Amino acid sequence: MERLQKILARAGLASRREAERWIQEGRVRVNGAVVTKLGSQADATKDKIKVDGKLIARPALNYFLFHKPPGLITSMGDPQGRPNLGDFLESLGRKGRVFPVGRLDFNSSGLLLLTNDGELAQKLAHPRYGVTKLYQVKISACPTQSELGRLRKGIHLEDGWTAPAKVRVVQVLRKKAWLEVEIHEGRYREVRRMFEALGYFVEKLTRVRMGPLRLGSLGPGEFRPLSPQEIAALKKIGRDVKRSSGNESFGSGR
């Protein structure tokens, strides 16, 4: 969902200011209803939007896999002026066409899905669908088996208990360790906070998989369109949940 004047401007029909005037003049309809309130929202991929009785074309649905580098804000703008996704996409000529599904914090890197498919984005972000995310994590020391067991059972954070995580040690260094962590919740900075609760500092965190999508060999700052097979696999997630509704449940959040 996004503001109606933004949809009209992106469709090339008018500037945002002119689109706002059209809305106030009652020239815009959404699904048959006249909209005159500024700030009203619509889904350009689903809703029927008309200006002076003429249906505007729905935008093509785009799906990209992006390797977010560290030091980038996962938003389309930042009031503090920090490097952000909107600036990055503008440099690639894709500003306004896609938005991120979920987030990675400023210091984290890895797989980020970019799309303008609002319905799919909502499903992937909702805890009901239990979409798993796999992270490679470097921490300040190697956790004990007891601490790994706590992560696997769920650990208490300030916003409640986490769902059980799948955790394995990949490599033990001289004083540090690399681990793989798989979760399906969507809490803010969850993986970092899980290790902080155990007294460890996360030095590096990279998301390498989300559902059926894999980062693979894509380099930091690079992106590629999803294949038809990847798009079909993502859309299958929602259908599978509908079929299994009532027969199984998922943990909350990411």
Cα torsion at 234, 239, 242, 244 (round to 10°)? -90
What is the set of active-site residues? Answer: 105
Which amino acid would we find at residue 234?
Answer: L
Using CA atoms, how far apart are residues 130 and 250, in angstroms rounded to an integer?
Answer: 6
Beta strands in 27-91 (DSSP E): 28-30, 33-34, 41-42, 49-51, 54-55, 63-68
Beta strands in 159-251 (DSSP E): 160-161, 166-172, 177-183, 202-210, 213-214, 223-225
Whether 30 and 48 have beta carbons less than 8 Å apart is answered as: yes
